[in-house]
């Protein structure tokens, strides 16, 4: 059984036992979170597609830790102007463990 969920403006294909990294969520590490934005649930040949979400479906996940992503470098260079800018960014992330997919 797998599901397609939407969280923080991004979509993820998840199965029970999967670990995903999403944008920082307002939940303490070790606590449970319920994701209601389930776009698709598939169990073998039985596929339920939401319009836009599946009504009674939900995904239970546990917040494992709050981390930061890899550093991304942006570099802007203006030729012949003696001007350049270098910036770095690390995204705040939350690591989620998918515990249960309920199709409703």
pLDDT band at 104 (very low <50, low <70, confident <90, very high): confident
Q: Is residue 79 assigned to a domain?
A: no
Q: Print the domain residue range for 48.
A: 2-66+94-102
Instruction: Tell me the mean pLDDT in the region 94-103.
Output: 96
- How far apart, in whole angstroms, are the C-alpha atoms of residue 62 and residue 83? 47
Q: Is residue 37 assigned to a domain?
A: yes
Give the number of domains in the chain. 1
- How far apart, in whole angstroms, are the C-alpha atoms of residue 44 and residue 99? 19
Q: What is the pLDDT of residue 89?
A: 98
Q: pLDDT, tens digit, for every residue of 74-86?
A: 999 999 999 999 9
Q: Is residue 20 assigned to a domain?
A: yes
Q: pLDDT, tens digit, for every residue of 17-73?
A: 999 999 999 999 999 999 999 999 999 999 999 999 999 999 999 999 999 999 999
**Side-chain half-sphere CA neighbours of 39 within 13 A:** 10
Q: Is residue 77 assigned to a domain?
A: no
Q: Is residue 98 assigned to a domain?
A: yes
């Amino acid at each position: 059984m797998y599901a397609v969920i939407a969280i923080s403006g991004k979509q993820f294909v998840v199965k029970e036992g999967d670990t995903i990294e999403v944008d920082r969520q307002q939940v303490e590490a070790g606590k449970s979170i319920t994701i209601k934005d389930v776009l698709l649930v598939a169990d073998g040949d039985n596929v339920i597609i939401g319009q836009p979400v599946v009504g009674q479906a939900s995904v239970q996940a546990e917040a494992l830790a709050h981390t930061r992503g890899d550093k991304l470098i942006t570099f802007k260079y203006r030729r012949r102007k003696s001007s350049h800018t270098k910036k770095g960014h690390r995204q705040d992330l939350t690591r989620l463990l998918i515990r249960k997919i309920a199709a409703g």
